[in-house]
Chains A and B, each alone.
Chain A
Amino acid sequence: MKKIALLSLTILAFMSVAFGQAKKPIIMVVPSDSWCLRNGFVQEFDNMGTPISVPDYSAALLKDPDIRAMITSLSGFMASEGYPLQSLEQELKRIQNESAEMAMMMGKQSGGGIVETPIERLRRTAKADIILNLDYTINKLGPNQHVEFNFQAIDAYSSKIISGITGVGDKISTTSSILSCLQAAVLDLKDGFLDNLNSYFYDMSVQGREISVTLFRYDSCPIDFEEEYEINGFYAELADIIEAWFADHAVSGRFSLDSKSANRMRFNQVRIPLTTVNPINGRETPVDANGFVRDLVNTLKKSPYNLVVGRTPKGLGEVWITLGDK
């Protein structure tokens, strides 16, 4: 009897480790737009007469040793916390290599190439769930210089700032290397940042992950979000029915309807559980935005709606649902 109890406990512990864990957000350090602009690491485009500047991360990482050193310091302490960061530099290289290989690949029997639509190509970019925006300026005053730094951790889906830390480094002589000051800046922000991140994860574990869901309508869709259906003897618009679904499925019914029109709906601050039972295999699995809306998509496919519905994940915390086509 004792042995059975022990075995059951071991299996339970294994299952909770194997299946009950939440999906881990990907964190990436990125030089801020303003830093790229100040240091000339931008690509300029002419968008129908309006000049647009886009940060050129590849050039920044290739040419500026200071930003590389700061990213290395940040990555170092995060790795020592058991939470390695995704390298922006390596991710950019991987995408570049992937594109080259995909262009060269050919089927062994058919000789056909890899299919990729323009939208798929556009989405194949470096992505992270939490972006660490890094910015610093070196101020020179007479024979001295000091570093002012600004560091923000941003949730990529809600655009909320998880952690924001600013600081001023020690004054050093202009003849001294600025690298030690930059490394001191990273050490200075380290504990505050880790603490904020810890609070963010704790909040997530208690109140659920915060996601955004956007619903669009293709012009091929026979109905719009203002179409009325009879539910339990009441007439309700499709938008209201979808809203009621979110109220039923979000953790504690917590969500915000950001915008609503005949063709588009956007929900944000939707709190979802970290794990759920997967209807396909019946196991408790980690859930993200894409998995969370699976039930909504299935509902819309069935009677009385009978719609063609597509869903496109945009990362752990954002998903697009399209009505009328996939």
Chain B
Amino acid sequence: MKRLLIFSLIALVCSCVCFGQGKDRRKSFKSWDNYEITTERVAVDGTKFVKVWGFGKTVDKAVMNAKRNAVHACIFRGLPGAATANPTPAILKDPDAYVMNQEYFDAFFEAGGAYLAYINMTTDGVPSGQDRRKVKGGYKVAIYVQVMYDNLRRKLENDGLARSLNSFF
């Protein structure tokens, strides 16, 4: 009986170690790994039309977070495909691109930072219904945005972080 109790305790500790971190990350409002984004359809030339989720203590903060996530996805993650749209590759391929240019991107993504110039909201007003969820510690909201993908890519090319086709010749 004592052995069984000890074994159960060990199993419990292990599960906390294994899954606890993931749970914390899922809860984290700031983690870049922790957002969902889907491509809605093929957008007009030079732009991407996506549905993106964000977290925040208030709905406004969650919306701002979602906008940041949309730009972040275009630069580092790429956008997933949809039934009638191919996936969009990330502008920067190097998985360490953020860390290698930490100062640049910290300034780029700061509140009211340059990233906002590459976002067009396609829905006005506060998200509601299925797109607005009260979660522990705040809100999780989804917004539909148009990302100025080509402009964003050119900005990173001009700042020397991405290479244009012409730069090879």
Give me the interface of A with B, judged by CB distance under 8 Å. Answer: 21-24, 77, 80-83, 165, 167-170, 184, 187-189, 191-192, 194-195, 197-199, 201-202, 204-205
Residues of chain B lying within 8 A (CB to CB) of residue A204? 168
Complex-state Cα separation, A21 to B88, whole angstroms: 30
Residues of chain A lying within 8 A (CB to CB) of residue B86? 165, 167, 188-189, 191-192
Closest Cβ–Cβ distance, residue A85 to chain B (whole Å): 11
Residues of chain A lying within 8 A (CB to CB) of residue B93? 199
Of B4-12, B121-129, B158-166, the one with at least 4 CB within 8 A of chain A: B158-166
Residues of chain B lying within 8 A (CB to CB) of residue A23? 169
Residues of chain A lying within 8 A (CB to CB) of residue B45? 77, 187
Say yes or no for B41: interface residue by CB 8 A criterion: yes
Say yes or no for B89: interface residue by CB 8 A criterion: yes
Given A21-B169, A83-B166, A191-B89, decide whether A168 and B84 contact each other with a Cβ distance below 8 A.
Answer: yes
Give me the interface of B with A, judged by CB distance under 8 Å. Answer: 41-45, 83-89, 93, 149-150, 163-166, 168-169
Closest Cβ–Cβ distance, residue A128 to chain B (whole Å): 15
Complex-state Cα separation, A253 to B88, whole angstroms: 36
Q: How many A-B residue pairs have CB under 8 A?
A: 56
A198 and B84 contacting across the interface, CB-CB below 8 Å: no
Of A22, A80, A184, A191, which contacts B168 at CB under 8 A?
A22
Residues of chain B lying within 8 A (CB to CB) of residue A167? 84-86
Main secondary structure of the interface of B (DSSP, over half): loop
Closest Cβ–Cβ distance, residue B90 to chain A (whole Å): 9
Ordered nearest first, which 6 A-B pairs have the shortest CB separation? Answer: A82-B166, A195-B89, A24-B169, A201-B168, A83-B165, A188-B42
In the complex, besides A83-B166, A167-B86, A170-B41, 14 extra interface pairs with C-beta distance below 8 angstroms are A22-B169, A23-B169, A80-B150, A82-B164, A83-B165, A167-B84, A168-B84, A184-B42, A187-B42, A187-B45, A188-B42, A191-B88, A192-B86, A192-B89
Residues of chain A lying within 8 A (CB to CB) of residue B87? 192
Complex-state Cα separation, A191 to B46, whole angstroms: 9
Residues of chain A lying within 8 A (CB to CB) of residue B149? 191
Complex-state Cα separation, A194 to B168, whole angstroms: 13
Residues of chain A lying within 8 A (CB to CB) of residue B166? 81-83
Given A184-B42, A187-B45, decide whether A201 and B165 contact each other with a Cβ distance below 8 A.
Answer: yes
Complex-state Cα separation, A80 to B169, whole angstroms: 16
Complex-state Cα separation, A199 to B162, whole angstroms: 12
Q: List 12 A-B contacts (CB under 8 A).
A: A22-B168, A81-B165, A83-B166, A165-B86, A170-B41, A187-B44, A192-B86, A192-B88, A195-B89, A197-B165, A199-B93, A202-B163
- Chain B residue with Cβ nearest A196: B89
Residues of chain A lying within 8 A (CB to CB) of residue B88? 191-192
A205 and B164 contacting across the interface, CB-CB below 8 Å: no
Complex-state Cα separation, A69 to B89, whole angstroms: 25
Closest Cβ–Cβ distance, residue A66 to chain B (whole Å): 17
Closest Cβ–Cβ distance, residue A38 to chain B (whole Å): 23
Residues of chain B lying within 8 A (CB to CB) of residue A189? 86
Closest Cβ–Cβ distance, residue A180 to chain B (whole Å): 11
Complex-state Cα separation, A22 to B167, whole angstroms: 10
B89 and A170 contacting across the interface, CB-CB below 8 Å: no
Closest Cβ–Cβ distance, residue A291 to chain B (whole Å): 16
A202 and B168 contacting across the interface, CB-CB below 8 Å: yes
Complex-state Cα separation, A241 to B113, whole angstroms: 62
Residues of chain B lying within 8 A (CB to CB) of residue A24? 169
B165 and A169 contacting across the interface, CB-CB below 8 Å: no
B165 and A198 contacting across the interface, CB-CB below 8 Å: yes
Closest Cβ–Cβ distance, residue B163 to chain A (whole Å): 7
Residues of chain B lying within 8 A (CB to CB) of residue A82? 164-166
B89 and A81 contacting across the interface, CB-CB below 8 Å: no
Q: Name the residue in A189, A191, A201 with the highest tally of chain B Cβ atoms < 10 Å from its Cβ.
A: A191
Residues of chain A lying within 8 A (CB to CB) of residue B44? 187
Complex-state Cα separation, A83 to B168, whole angstroms: 11
Residues of chain A lying within 8 A (CB to CB) of residue B89? 191-192, 195
Closest Cβ–Cβ distance, residue B85 to chain A (whole Å): 6
Closest Cβ–Cβ distance, residue B66 to chain A (whole Å): 22
Closest Cβ–Cβ distance, residue A272 to chain B (whole Å): 15
A198 and B163 contacting across the interface, CB-CB below 8 Å: yes
Closest Cβ–Cβ distance, residue A172 to chain B (whole Å): 11
Closest Cβ–Cβ distance, residue B45 to chain A (whole Å): 6
Given A187-B42, A191-B149, decide whether A170 and B84 contact each other with a Cβ distance below 8 A.
Answer: yes
Complex-state Cα separation, A202 to B89, whole angstroms: 16
